[in-house]
Amino acid sequence: MSGAIHVLNGPNLNRLGTREPEIYGATTLAEIEALCHEAAGPRALLFRQSNAEYQLIDWIHQAIDDNAAAIIINPAGLTFTSVPIMDALKMFRGTVIELHITNIHRREAVYHTSLVSKVVTAVIAGLGPQGYRTAVEAACRMTG
């Protein structure tokens, strides 16, 4: 499958670089986007962020309708609460990679149970911003 890779980012990730840098680091979301495009090479890649759950769901639906090859999603806080995002991801037939900048399993208990993990192809957590590069490279390899 050679369709586009959709990289979707959830709430508060637009604040990367200034939000709790001791936890999330100093890298901005714009820098992460550039890293993703570099990792994708000639592969089409859409990179988006929203603080609104419904917008992420609409973008998942768009990936379905566009026959995207892969979705890389960092649902942020919605990881642990959003049945609608989980349900939307279940409809996508391509590769889905759940991504977290931090290792959610080393954090407070509220971050230990991902609803999204139950329906994705793979999970990457704890690699910092470089996890995005790893996810894009993996998505490219997994989808041809």
Give the C-alpha separation, 53 to 143, whole Å: 27
What is the count of structural domains for the chain? Answer: 1
Q: Does 65 appear as a known binding residue?
A: no
CA dihedral 17, 19, 21, 25 (to 10 degrees): -50
Q: Does 87 appear as a known binding residue?
A: yes
Do strands 95-100 and 70-74 pair parallel, antiparallel, or not at all (unpaired)? parallel
How many residues are listed for the chain in this entry? 144
- Who's near 133: CB < 8 A, 6+ residues apart? 35, 36, 38, 39
CATH of the domain at 134: 3.40.50.9100
Residues noted as catalytic: 24, 100
- Who's near 129: CB < 8 A, 6+ residues apart? 16, 25, 27, 31, 32, 35, 101
Q: How many Cβ atoms are within 10 Å of 141's Cβ, its own excluded?
A: 9
Q: Write out the chain's pLDDT in tens, 144 residues.
A: 469 999 999 999 999 999 888 888 899 999 999 999 999 999 999 999 999 999 999 999 999 999 999 999 999 999 998 999 999 999 999 999 999 999 888 877 777 679 999 999 999 999 999 999 999 999 999 998
**Residue span of the structural domain in which 57 resides:** 5-143
Q: For 86-113, what is each residue's pLDDT tens digit? A: 999 999 999 999 999 998 888 777 776 7
Could you tell me where the DSSP H helices lie in the chain?
21-24, 29-40, 53-65, 83-91, 130-143
Q: Does 134 appear as a known binding residue?
A: no
Whole-structure pTM value: 0.94
Give the C-alpha separation, 95 to 143, whole Å: 7
